[in-house]
Structure 1
């Protein structure tokens, strides 16, 4: 993973983790222990799905740049379906508060997206790889001799 990719991942994960902690506290106050468990699970699901998506998209950009845009669309649909499956599986659970789960999932997802947008806006990523000085000169060109020296 490149350093700018790691910075992006970190700058998204930290605010999302803070959101998860706040969601657990709010869930605990409003719905007790089940609310805290639901909020924690929702934040973990959101962070996991979003982190997986970011990592997959970064690897696609590195190894298969021509598939980057299509992979982004496939990835967003996959993330949506993955969250839909989690919601369907835990629809009628009594293990945790589903309302706390849903609100924490929504809050963590929105915070991740906002942090990712901010990270990409702040990143100074080159759009074109600059050439080295040696690569600019044609192969047959000789270095010019300094003025006044014998050739």
Structure 2
């Protein structure tokens, strides 16, 4: 993982963790221990899914850049389906407060997406990778000297 990718991950995970912590506090105040547990589960779920997807997308971009856009769209579909599956599995649970879970899930998802958008807009990434000097000149060729100057 390149340093700009790690920076993007950090810039997404930190605000999401902060929103998750706030959601746990709000869940604890409004719904007790089950509210705190539901909010924590929602924030952790979003952070885990989004982190894995970002890592997969970065590796795809490095190894197979030609399928980068398709992989991004596929990963967003998988994220949606995974979260829908978890919501369907836990819709009638009494283990935790489902409202706190749902609101935490929503808040953490919106925070991650906003932070990721901001991180990509602020990143200074080359659109074209500059070539090294030896890549421009084939092996054995000397650099042409400017007109009128001795070699």
| TM-score normalized with structure 1 length | 0.91
Structure 1 residue 5 corresponds to structure 2 residue 31: no
Larger radius of gyration: 1
Alignment correspondent of 1:15: 15
Equivalence map 1:18-57=2 (5 Å): 18-57=18-57
Structure 1 residue 100 corresponds to structure 2 residue 112: no
Alignment correspondent of 1:115: 115
Alignment correspondent of 2:91: 91
Cα separation, 2, equivalents of 1:147 and 1:49: 61
> How much has 1:52 moved relative to structure 2?
1.1
> How much has 1:53 moved relative to structure 2?
1.0
Cα separation, 2, equivalents of 1:93 and 1:84: 15
Alignment correspondent of 2:128: 128
Unaligned runs of 5+ in 1: none
**Runs of 4+ deviating beyond 6 Å:** none
The number of equivalent residue pairs is 149
> How much has 1:131 moved relative to structure 2?
1.6
Cα separation, 1, equivalents of 2:18 and 2:39: 12
Cα separation, 2, equivalents of 1:80 and 1:147: 64
Cα separation, 1, equivalents of 2:21 and 2:114: 18
Kindly provide the CA deviation profile for residues 27-66 of structure 1, in whole angstroms up to 9, marking residues without a partner as x: 0001111100000000001111111111111111011111
Unaligned runs of 5+ in 2: none
> How much has 1:138 moved relative to structure 2?
5.8
Is the deviation greater in 133-142 or in 100-109? Answer: 133-142
Aligned-residue CA RMSD (Å) = 1.9
Classify the secondary structure of the residue corresponding to 2:91: coil
Is the deviation greater in 104-113 or in 124-133? Answer: 124-133
